[in-house]
Amino acid sequence: MIKRTPPQRPAAYAEEALVTAILDGDYPPGSTLPGERELAAQLGVTRPTLREALQRLHRDGWLAIRQGKPTVVNDYWRDGGLNALGALVRHSSVLPEDFIPHLLEVRLAMAPAYTRAAVERSAGEVAAALEKYVELADTPEAFAAHDWRIHRTLTIASGNPVYVLILNGFAGFYEQMARLYFAQPVARSASRAFYADLLAAVRAGDAAGAERITRDIMERSIELWRVMRGA
């Protein structure tokens, strides 16, 4: 049964309630939603409000809506888009155990490229952000916040807004997972060395070197995460 809470914005409330119901398994992939009248009554919203929420979920890949047929719940891992990813991140308890390694592999695929582009386009901006690493307190919280700022700076400076949108989809969740990663002294040590090496490459205008340095630390971060989670 869908959990009801007092809505502030009815369409947004209905959308979030349906996503929660899908992720909780009340409406698993392949199942059909109740009819509009019944579903609107369950949610405590009007039918026009429900239709607005359903259209948003259809747009984001959660649902398949076909005229004259029941609304079907999609396999969100196959049909979902960036907004669906953001919702999954907000409901982190439903994420599979291999989600973080997969996420780190995606970062490995993207980060070297956007780092190179950022150094080529705006080395001064990147250097200014990196220089703050020398003031970092040796705590997981400080490193997590700094690492987020660095990657956000790099994606923005790269000039490719798609990188920024993808990274923004993990806002909050990124630092949450990073705090777990940086709880290990070896992870903080590796990243401090990374910031120093990357800063040297940036100051030298060595975009190719910055790309290589970033790839190396991304690969090592995957190894470290696997070792830590295994332990």
Domains in the chain, start-ordered, CATH in brackets?
10-93 (1.10.10.10), 99-230 (1.20.120.530)
pLDDT surpasses 60 at 8: no
Each residue's pLDDT tens digit, 114-142 = 999 999 999 999 999 999 999 999 999 99
User: Mind listing the pLDDT tens digit for each residue in 153-201?
Assistant: 999 999 999 999 999 888 888 898 899 899 999 999 999 999 999 999 9
To the nearest 10°, the Cα dihedral for 198, 213, 117, 139?
Answer: -50
pLDDT band with cut points at 50, 70 and 90 for residue 4? low
Mean pLDDT of the chain, nearest integer: 91
Q: How far apart are CA 16 and CA 29, in angstroms?
A: 17
- pTM given for the model: 0.76
> Among all chains, which residue has been given the structure tokens 């890949």?
61
DSSP string, 150-168: HHHHHHHHHT-HHHHHHHH
Neighbours of 31 (CB within 10 A): 13
Q: What is the mean pLDDT of residues 73-98?
A: 84
| Residue 144 contacts residue 178 (beta carbons within 8 Å) | yes
Measured from the Cβ of residue 45, the count of other Cβ atoms closer than 10 Å reads: 21
Please tell me the least confidently modeled range out of 23-32, 35-44, 91-100, 175-184: 91-100
What number of other Cβ atoms are within 10 A of residue 4's Cβ? Answer: 12
Tell whether the model's pLDDT for residue 1 goes beyond 70: no
Radius of gyration of the chain measured on its C-alpha atoms? 21
Res 7: pLDDT: 44
